[in-house]
Amino acid sequence: MMYRLFYLKKDDLLMVVFSLERIPNKIVRDGDAFYLYFNDSLVGINIFHFSKIYQLDKEGMILPLDDDLLSAINSYLKSIHLDKIHSGYFVSLIKEVEEVEDSDHLHLVKVSDGKEEITLICGAKNAKVGLKVVLAKEGTILPNGETLKASTIIGYPSHGMLCSKRDLGLDPNDYSHNLIIVEDDYNIGDDYFRS
């Protein structure tokens, strides 16, 4: 499930939001969890006393996730019989790279996340066939809070984004425009932030 996370420290409340478009019209409480529904569709979960599960030192929207936080949330969700969440950032394999006409740096790239092949535009200097990289899929929440949407860039469709450390908020001073090259212990299709 795709999601957004918000943490209110003073209330020790983690809000897991699955849909910003639907306002809940039904709330069901189960212990420290409040399930938020729009009709019969789960649109969010509020988890009170979250510090019993995980100690967060951030407040507001939580990005990027780390492996420990994602694991803690997914363990909790499993304990209440819900699907685990994923970050939206998947390890993918670059299958094709073509230069884009009328551009000195853009590439038309085809990547596979193990389930589907996605075509996108990429400006990274190090985009090469055979590399394992980080793919942000459509619907992924970016570190700036925006939702990644399909777009058209100089006439070419783009259905995702290949990520640098700066794109993920891991190194705001990285201006190299180079993609993250993923380590060998990841498999194609793995959540980059794991769980």
Identify whether the C-beta of residue 42 lies closer than 8 Å to the C-beta of residue 49.
Answer: no
Question: To 5 degrees, how large is the angle CA 165–CA 1–CA 25?
Answer: 125
State the average pLDDT over residues 8-28: 91
State the average pLDDT over residues 125-139: 94
Span(s) in the chain for CATH 2.40.50.140: 88-195
Output the pLDDT for position 66: 74
pLDDT tens digits for range 46-98: 999 999 999 998 898 887 667 788 889 989 988 888 888 888 899 999 999 99
State the average pLDDT over residues 149-168: 92
Closest CA to 4 of 126, 153, 181, 141: 141
DSSP label of 193: T
Output the pLDDT for position 64: 63
Output the pLDDT for position 1: 61
Output the pLDDT for position 195: 53
Dist. CA 40–CA 22, nearest whole Å: 12
State the average pLDDT over residues 152-163: 94
Residues 6+ apart with CB under 8 A from 152: 158
pLDDT tens digits for range 165-195: 988 878 888 888 899 999 889 999 998 886 5
pLDDT tens digits for range 91-122: 999 999 999 988 889 999 999 999 999 999 99
Strand order in the sheet with 4-8: 26-30, 33-38, 41-48, 13-17, 4-8, 60-61
pLDDT tens digits for range 26-38: 999 999 999 999 9
Number of helices and strands (H, E) in the chain? 1, 13
Which CATH number is 88-195 given? 2.40.50.140
Across the chain, mean pLDDT equals 90
Dist. CA 95–CA 133, nearest whole Å: 11
113 C-beta neighbours (distance < 10 Å), count: 17
